Amino acid sequence: MSLKAFHIVFIVFSTALAIALGLWATRDFAQSGSWINLTLAVGSFIATALLVFYGAWFLRKLKNMGYL
């Protein structure tokens, strides 16, 4: 697996984990009302958006290179 392919897989997994953390923190905030969980949820969704933009930028930057 090339470094580019590994990087793409890592970005996808990181994005999925950030979404999962945001959903979990949102659900926990709805149950407990803790503002720390709300802050964690907002931060996770911001991180998700940044990871998506970074992934798109990375793919555009290296679109002429092969995956293997």
pLDDT tens digit sequence for 14-27: 999 999 999 999 99
pLDDT tens digit sequence for 1-57: 788 889 999 999 999 999 999 999 999 999 999 999 999 999 999 999 999 999 999
pLDDT band at 68 (very low <50, low <70, confident <90, very high): low
Q: Which residues contact 54 (CB under 8 A, 6 or more apart)?
A: 11
- Considering the domain boundaries, does residue 34 fall inside one? yes
- Considering the domain boundaries, does residue 9 fall inside one? yes
Domain that residue 23 falls in: 3-61
Domain count, the chain: 1
- C-alpha 49/C-alpha 56 separation (Å) is 11
Q: Is there a contact between 5 and 55 (Cβ–Cβ < 8 Å)?
A: no
Q: Is there a contact between 2 and 66 (Cβ–Cβ < 8 Å)?
A: yes
- Identify the residue whose tokens are 């905030």: 29
Q: Is there a contact between 67 and 4 (Cβ–Cβ < 8 Å)?
A: yes
- Considering the domain boundaries, does residue 66 fall inside one? no
